[in-house]
Homo-oligomer: A and B are copies of this chain.
């Protein structure tokens, strides 16, 4: 039995999204149990509409919920021991749940999870990993916004955690890993990335195959299974890709409506557009994973629909089912045990050119 604690109150829309998402998941996963957290007056009437969840869930009323516009520190102050988000996370800490899912405010979720669950002994800093649809299939990109900037050692941690997540989700023994970089050979300021590349080549981790540097356009191609970068550029990459996809959709949409012929053409070829939509659908690959913590916490997109929320629950389920934390911990330990030796080596190796 895998138990998922759900912050029903998170997200931009109504709480029905989370509960309807749970109802979708229970259709194809028999060994799942839900712990719902939220304001009683809001959640109870919704739960009544989903009797299919009666026997596999329990509802815990909470005093408050964390709003989408609260700053992380404010959310922690206001929500600690009170809000639905806090209780959903605490259920993981107390061993009552195996994973937590929330569509709430990312900063607040990160802060509360960090405060409540603490870091894995082996990880230096948390990261958020996203699932990115690619031409090949799907890749994991991290960090997409947990922390800004990263040392070489922190980039290696991210590589290990991202590869562990990829193995848990896609059952690949040795996922390929690339470090996101710019295509300038002699560029300055990339010391930490080059150093991380050297370490990944040297340390020969069990759970990943290091492939070298990748550029922004390699993400969509699916050149590697796991793309590693620090949170600033990761977030810029994610948002820019979303913006570009929306831009193309809007241009095409209005061009298709511009005449009778194009409208007819659209009608006849709508199956192709459905294929595109399915492949790029943010709801299909929904679920940012907070990595590096003593517990599994999944962030569903604030604007996800019930199918999207179901995907996020599914991600949490797979993580637990495939022993994500154990997988990550072993490789992190292996890296940190060898770290001193690795960092003692001549730095020159790190500065030599390298690319895919």
Chain A interface residues (CB < 8 Å from chain B): 71-73, 106-107, 134-135, 145, 147-149, 180, 182-190, 215-221, 229, 231-233, 235-248, 250-252, 255-256, 258-259, 261-273, 275-276, 279-280, 353
Contacts and interface: CB of A to CB of B under 8 A. Distances in A.
B145 A182 contact: yes
Contact of A261 (B183, B233, B271): B271
A140 to B, nearest CB: 15
28 contacts: A107-B184, A107-B186, A145-B182, A147-B187, A148-B187, A148-B189, A148-B190, A180-B236, A182-B239, A190-B232, A217-B240, A218-B243, A219-B243, A221-B243, A236-B237, A237-B240, A241-B243, A241-B244, A248-B280, A251-B276, A255-B276, A256-B272, A261-B269, A262-B272, A263-B269, A264-B268, A265-B265, A265-B272
Contacts of A221: 243, 246-247
A263 B269 CA distance: 7
Contacts of A229: 236
Contacts of A246: 217, 220-221
A183 B243 CA distance: 14
B247 A272 contact: no
Given A183-B235, A241-B243, A265-B270, 10 more contacts: A135-B251, A147-B188, A148-B190, A149-B189, A189-B232, A221-B247, A245-B248, A248-B276, A265-B272, A266-B269
A232 B190 CA distance: 9
Nearest to A222: B247
A187 B73 CA distance: 11
B266 A243 contact: no
Contact of A239 (B217, B239, B256, B275): B217
In the complex, which of the residues A190, A239, A252, A279 has the most CB atoms of chain B within 10 Å of its own CB atom? Answer: A239
Contacts of A273: 252, 255
B242 A217 contact: yes
A232 B182 contact: yes
In the complex, which of the residues A106, A215, A261, A272 has the most CB atoms of chain B within 10 Å of its own CB atom? Answer: A272
Contacts of A240: 216-217, 219-220, 236-237, 240-241, 244
A346 B235 CA distance: 29
